[in-house]
Amino acid sequence: MAKSMEDLYQERMERYKKANRMEKPDKVPFRPFAAELAGKVAGYTAQQVTHDPDLGLDAVIKMCERVPGIDAAVVNMVYVNTSVTESYGLKYYRVPGIQLDADDSFQYMEPQNDEEAFMKVEDYERFIEDPNEFVMNVWLPRTSNYMVPPGEENTWKNNLAWMKNGIAIQQYFQKLGANVGRMRTDTGTVSAIAGALKAPFDILADKFRGFRGIAYDIRRCPEKVLKATEAIAPHMAWNCIATADPSRNVPCSHWMHRGATGFFSEEVFQKFYWPTLKQVTEQIWGAGIQTIYYAEGKWARNLKTFRELPDKSIIFHCDKDDIYEVKRVLGDKFPISGGVPNDMLAFGEPADVKKRVKQLIQDFGPDGGYILDAEAIMQQDVKVENFIAMGEACEEYGYI
């Protein structure tokens, strides 16, 4: 008798949980981080999945149906949806169909100077005093085309922006939740992550000061930078825990950015990046939640530092680092994911991909604690046949 979708879901959940917890599952789980690629599989443009939440979510369902062997997937990895961002005129994204071509990916617009930054250098004290107050009263109006700061003359556009955005967020997250259910009932697939974290230094650099701003600030006003990361840390932890999986089955995700090798020195990493990230990760782990460290770029320099974290508290996702080195340094403490190069997925052939997957499974599968994925989040450059080959190879060789 064929397995029911619920049986399949339970089997995949068990497999995913075991791998995430350093145990040996029956099969290496395939957890593709697929963004615009899901739309490509479903036949939707980047513009469609970015603007229409139903299509964005439907693309993931179609991907789970069409690509074999997916155990867990992200309910929507094209995380900018204009139903939300355009409702209040969010300034800092460039999206397909508005500023970019239909098949380009949405992107963040980096401030060029202090004038363009959404937090000015003179705002540090106010931010440190109360980050929430700063976000609501200063940052939000600056990032919106319509919202006005308190004390300024009110406008209809401001009123409408608050109302429309409230409705849009409610609708969008209701759809997200429903789609998690649909993934389970229609495809037997686990929703791979719940709850999101960013390192306090990253959030300060990315969304408040910009890279240039933070690069200058660590020279010109280092103590303020440090205090700002400390002020924001509890909020990052709370935000993540509050939106995590209540059943504690799946991990939260942490998109790591400016701590990567090359952006800043080791001294800067140790002083500004690591202390609050460590604190927040431990707090989240204390609440029973694992964190996926999606280590964008290269992090070889800091692998040993991550060993300071409690065993199994993170799942290390390897992007540009040598995954064999990552396994050697971290493999006894933390599970790892990744391993299939994106240039192979974009330019190689299915046979290349299958060979790579087989090798990864042979080398990492027997120990447990390995989750199959590409190196970086997969976008529309990936050939669909190569993506399918990943899943097929995992089905073929993954039972260990």
Partner 1 sequence: MNTKKITELLVELEEDKVYDAVDEAIAAGVSGREILKASQAAMATIGEMYKREEAFVADMMFAGEIMRNILTRIQPLLEKEGGKGATLGKAIIGTVKGDIHDLGKDVVMIALEGNGFEVIDLGVDVPPEKFVEALKNNPDAKVVGLSVFLTSAFPSTEKTVKAIADSGKRGQVKIMVGGAPVTEVVARETGCDYFAEDAAAGVSFTRSVYGV
Contact indicator for 273, 201 with CB cutoff of 8 Å = yes
Which pair of tokens denotes residue 352?
């290349």
CB of 113 to partner 1, least distance (A): 9
Q: Which of 391, 319, 20, 387 is nearest to 192 (CA)?
A: 20
**Beta bridge partner(s), residue 175:** none
CB of 246 to partner 1, least distance (A): 34
Helices then strands, counting H and E runs in the chain, come out as: 19, 10
- Going 155 to 158 to 162 to 163, the CA torsion angle's sign is positive
Q: Is 73 in the site for partner 1 (CB under 8 A)?
A: no
| Span interacting with partner 1, options 23-31, 59-67, 94-102, 163-171, rule CB under 8 A | 94-102
Should residue 318 be labelled a site residue for partner 1 when binding is judged by CB under 8 A?
no
Please tell me the distance from the alpha carbon of residue 352 to that of residue 337, in angstroms, as a whole number.
Answer: 19
Least distance from C-beta 40 to partner 1, angstroms? 10
Q: Does the protein bind partner 1 through residue 80 (CB under 8 A)?
A: no
How far, in Å, CA of 382 to CA of 37, rounded? 7
Q: What are phi and psi of 294, to 5 degrees?
A: -80, 95
DSSP of 102-141, one letter per residue? TTSPPEE----STTTSSS-GGGHHHHHH-HHHHIIIIIHH
* 104 is an interface residue for partner 1 by CB under 8 A: yes
Binding part of the chain for partner 1, among 67-75, 104-112, 159-167, 234-242 by CB under 8 A, reads 104-112
Angle at 273 between CA 268 and CA 274, to 5 degrees: 110
Per the structure block, which two tokens stand in for 185?
Answer: 């009932």
Site string for partner 1, 8-47 (x = CB under 8 A): ----------------------------x---------x-
Q: Does 109 engage in binding with partner 1 (CB under 8 A)?
A: yes
* Least distance to partner 1, CB of residue 201, Å: 12
Contact at 8 Å (CB) between 117 and 207? no
Find residue 196's DSSP bridge partners. Answer: 253
CB closer to partner 1 out of 173 and 347: 347
Q: Binding to partner 1 by residue 145, rule CB under 8 A?
A: no
* CB nearer to partner 1: pick between 72 and 378: 378
324 contributes a contact to partner 1 by CB under 8 A = no
305 binds partner 1 (CB under 8 A): no
Q: Does 101 bind partner 1 (CB under 8 A)?
A: yes
User: Is residue 107 a contact point for partner 1 (CB under 8 A)?
Assistant: yes
Helix (H, G, I), strand (E, B) or coil at 93: strand
When asked if residue 83 is in the footprint of partner 1 (CB under 8 A), the reply is: no
Burial of 226 (0-12, 13-18, 19+ CB in 10 A): middle
* CA-closest candidate to residue 356, choices 340, 371, 372: 340
| 246 sits near partner 1 (criterion: CB under 8 A) | no
Q: Nearer Cβ to partner 1, position 216 or 285?
A: 216
CB of 279 to partner 1, least distance (A): 23
- Rounded distance between C-alpha atoms, residue 355 and residue 390, angstroms: 10
Of residues 188 and 259, the one with the C-beta less far from partner 1:
259
97-105, 148-156, 166-174, 239-247 -> range binding partner 1 (CB under 8 A): 97-105
Q: Does 264 bind partner 1 (CB under 8 A)?
A: yes
Q: By CB under 8 A, is residue 115 in contact with partner 1? A: no
Tell me, residue by residue from 336 to 375, as one string, x for binding to partner 1 by CB under 8 A and - for no binding. -----xxxx-xx----------------------------
Nearer to partner 1, 348 or 368 (CB): 348
C-alpha to C-alpha distances, 57 to 5, 78, 175, 176, 249, nearest whole angstrom: 19, 9, 8, 7, 22
Q: Which residues contact 358 (CB under 8 A, 6 or more apart)?
A: 393, 396, 397
Q: Which of the residues 176 through 235 are near partner 1 (CB under 8 A)?
A: 211-212, 214-216, 218-220
Applying CB under 8 A, the span of 187-195, 283-291, 326-334, 376-384 interacting with partner 1 comes to 376-384
Binding residues for partner 1 (CB under 8 A) = 36, 46, 94, 100-101, 103-105, 107, 109-110, 112, 211-212, 214-216, 218-220, 261-265, 268, 296-297, 320, 341-344, 346-347, 376, 378-382
